[in-house]
């Protein structure tokens, strides 16, 4: 059975790229009737940020990624935390030592630094702890067994390092990138267990993937350089290696280079799913959710960052994505973070919402507006906005009588014909006693213009100007329906008075 995991480190807000990784794992699991686990990789206590874990959970929940119950070690929890499994990793490090695949190392930071200096001065290519240098350092390969035991008993700090066999070639078939081959001599003897007893990312990640029976490791391309080491660790344990799939990098909107927080700040768009306030600096980073991106649009946008269905279809619900998804259709090349595409998706999903659904999205900000009016406002605006909050911000003219009139339109459109047509319209409106809806507003206007002997099209913008103060905007007849007859009459009279003075 397919088993995948999303394994974020709680070191800050989850990047939107992390949400894409989670999404691809989720789609793959669902498509194949498999399971998806969430594992919090919190072994690096120096980088732990309070609130980050809650943020990850909330972000996944917002976009609709459901985590399955974990069936593996740790009990029936949806969530695994490596810090809670701490004690166990040491046994695995010791297993590798017993197999001759890892060793204790007692070197202090100063000694390692001195080794680096020495090597650099001698012109060595890479100054690292490896098959050659380890023979000159203080570790269980160079010290006698007694001495090692004594140092451990003394409480000397030590780490456990992997013992890389440099004569080997490491090969694995990445499901996205194809065959990857690396010579083991290029790897260093990475630390597996730190002096505080905590495993490093590499050890904990592999032990857990093994114990949790992960079949596919789907993660960002930044982990590709670590994959050869991971393959070796599996081999040294004698475990089966899962399949790897390294997802393409997210590129700047212009397509050149890796997407950064700075690009987002300069471009005025979010790269975090949810707003995040840094607990130390208090600085707030914007989020897709708070900026008004709908979760459906966010998911659709993310799904297309590195994958495509191979058809013309662009709008996909989560269920449709599950149906269409395959790792074969993920591309190797970096994916341009085209935020205009995200906006386009948002517009599409906004258009598809009912007036009630839209009203629901903004009802808190719109508490002063009666519900039946709010529904009409939503109807008026849904084809014209990119974000739900614009439904209100672009319709202030409905709630405030215009204080000024757009200068250019006054000059070009406010003339004797306009005054005549609008004066007639006011007279007719006052006499009208039927229901005042968009259709009647329009019919009365057409009749008034005709009675005044003026072509309706010529004075349309003047009417809009008188009602809203601006030359452009949403459907005017529907806007007038929302305003109501009395308000329209009062605005028209005010405009006739103000604009005809000068
Ligand atoms: N903890 C790693 C991260 O933060 C996980 C990488 C992996 O999926 O192996 O991205």
Of all protein residues, the one whose alpha carbon is nearest to atom 6 of ligand 1 is 7
Of all protein residues, the one whose alpha carbon is nearest to atom 3 of ligand 1 is 8
Residue 192 pLDDT > 50: yes
How many whole angstroms separate alpha carbon 316 and alpha carbon 383? 20
Task: For 315-366, give the DSSP string.
Answer: ---HHHHHHH--GGGB-SS-EE--HHHHHHHHHHHHHTS-HHHHHHHHTTTT
How many angstroms does the Cα of residue 202 sit away from the middle of ligand 1?
9
Q: For the residues 322-336, what does the mean pLDDT come to?
A: 97
Read off the pLDDT of residues 387-432 as tens digits, 9 standing for 90 and up: 999 999 999 999 999 999 999 999 999 999 999 999 999 999 999 9
How many angstroms does the Cα of residue 128 sit away from the middle of ligand 1?
24
Q: What burial letters (b/e) apply to 472-499, b meaning 16+ CB within 10 Å? A: ebbebebbbbbbebeebbebbeebbeeb
Atom of ligand 1 minimally distant from the CA of 223 = 6
Query: Considering the chain, what is the average pLDDT of its residues?
Result: 94
8 Å CB contact between 299 and 285: no
Three-class DSSP category at 307 = strand
How many angstroms does the Cα of residue 285 sit away from the middle of ligand 1?
22
How many angstroms does the Cα of residue 349 sit away from the middle of ligand 1?
32
Ligand 1 pocket test, candidate residues 4, 201, 210, 217, most atoms within 8 A of CB: 201
How many angstroms does the Cα of residue 105 sit away from the middle of ligand 1?
26
Atom of ligand 1 minimally distant from the CA of 5 = 8
Read off the pLDDT of residues 361-389 as tens digits, 9 standing for 90 and up: 999 999 989 999 999 999 999 999 999 99
Atom of ligand 1 minimally distant from the CA of 205 = 9
Of all protein residues, the one whose alpha carbon is nearest to atom 10 of ligand 1 is 8
Read off the pLDDT of residues 36-56 as tens digits, 9 standing for 90 and up: 999 999 988 888 899 999 999
Q: What is the pLDDT confidence band of residue 259, given thresholds at 50, 70 and 90?
A: very high
Of all protein residues, the one whose alpha carbon is nearest to atom 2 of ligand 1 is 8
Residue 84 pLDDT > 90: no
How many angstroms does the Cα of residue 8 sit away from the middle of ligand 1?
5
Which residues' Cβ are closer than 6 Å to ligand 1? Answer: 7-9, 41, 201, 205, 219, 223
For the chain, helix (H) and strand (E) counts, in that order, are: 22, 14
Residues with catalytic roles: 261
Residue 77 pLDDT > 80: no
Ligand 1 pocket test, candidate residues 19, 199, 205, 242, most atoms within 8 A of CB: 205
């Amino acid at each position: 059975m397919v088993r995948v995991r999303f394994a974020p480190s709680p070191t800050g807000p989850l990047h939107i790229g992390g949400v894409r990784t989670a999404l691809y794992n989720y789609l793959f699991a669902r498509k194949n009737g498999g399971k998806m686990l969430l594992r919090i990789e919190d072994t690096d206590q120096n980088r732990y940020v309070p609130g980050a874990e809650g943020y990850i959970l909330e972000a996944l929940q917002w976009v609709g990624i459901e985590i399955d119950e974990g069936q593996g070690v740790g009990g029936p929890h949806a969530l695994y935390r490596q810090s809670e499994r701490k004690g166990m990793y040491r046994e695995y490090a010791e297993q590798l030592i017993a197999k001759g695949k890892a060793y204790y190392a007692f070197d202090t930071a100063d000694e390692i630094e001195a080794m680096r200096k020495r090597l650099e001065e001698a012109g060595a290519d890479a100054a690292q702890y490896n098959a050659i240098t380890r023979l000159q350092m203080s570790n269980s390969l160079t010290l006698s067994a007694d001495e090692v035991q004594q140092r451990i008993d003394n409480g000397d700090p030590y780490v456990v390092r992997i013992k890389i066999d440099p004569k080997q070639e490491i090969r694995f078939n990445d499901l996205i990138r194809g065959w990857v081959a690396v010579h083991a001599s290029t790897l260093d003897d990475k630390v597996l267990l730190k002096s505080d007893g905590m495993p490093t990312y590499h050890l904990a990640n592999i032990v857990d993937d093994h114990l949790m029976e992960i079949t596919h490791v789907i993660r960002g391309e930044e982990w590709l350089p670590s994959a050869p080491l991971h393959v070796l660790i599996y081999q040294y344990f004698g475990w089966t290696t899962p399949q790897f799939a390294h997802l393409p990098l997210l590129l700047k909107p212009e397509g050149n280079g890796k997407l950064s927080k700075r690009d987002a700040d300069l471009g005025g768009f979010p790269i975090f799913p949810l707003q995040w306030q840094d607990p130390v600096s208090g600085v707030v980073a914007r989020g897709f959710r708070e900026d008004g991106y709908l979760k459906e649009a966010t998911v659709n946008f993310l799904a297309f960052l590195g994958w495509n269905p191979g058809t013309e279809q662009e709008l996909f619900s989560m269920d449709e994505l599950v149906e269409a998804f395959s790792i074969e259709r993920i591309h190797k090349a970096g994916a341009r973070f085209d935020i205009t595409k995200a906006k386009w998706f948002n517009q599409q999903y906004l258009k598809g919402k009912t007036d009630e659904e839209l009203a629901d999205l903004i009802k808190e900000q719109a508490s002063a507006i009666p519900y039946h009016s709010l529904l009409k406002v939503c109807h008026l605006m849904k084809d014209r906005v990119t974000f739900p909050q614009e439904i209100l911000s672009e319709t202030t003219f409905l709630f405030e009588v215009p204080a000024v009139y757009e200068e250019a339109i006054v000059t070009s459109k406010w003339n004797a014909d306009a005054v005549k047509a609008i004066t007639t319209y006011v007279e007719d409106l006052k006499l009208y006693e039927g229901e005042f809806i968009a259709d009647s507003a329009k019919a009365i206007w057409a009749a008034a213009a005709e009675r005044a002997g003026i072509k309706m099209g010529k004075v349309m913008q003047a009417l809009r100007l008188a009602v809203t103060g601006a030359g452009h905007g949403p459907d005017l007849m529907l806007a007038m329906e929302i305003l109501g007859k009395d308000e329209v009459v009062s605005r028209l009279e005010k405009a006739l008075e103000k604009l005809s003075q000068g």
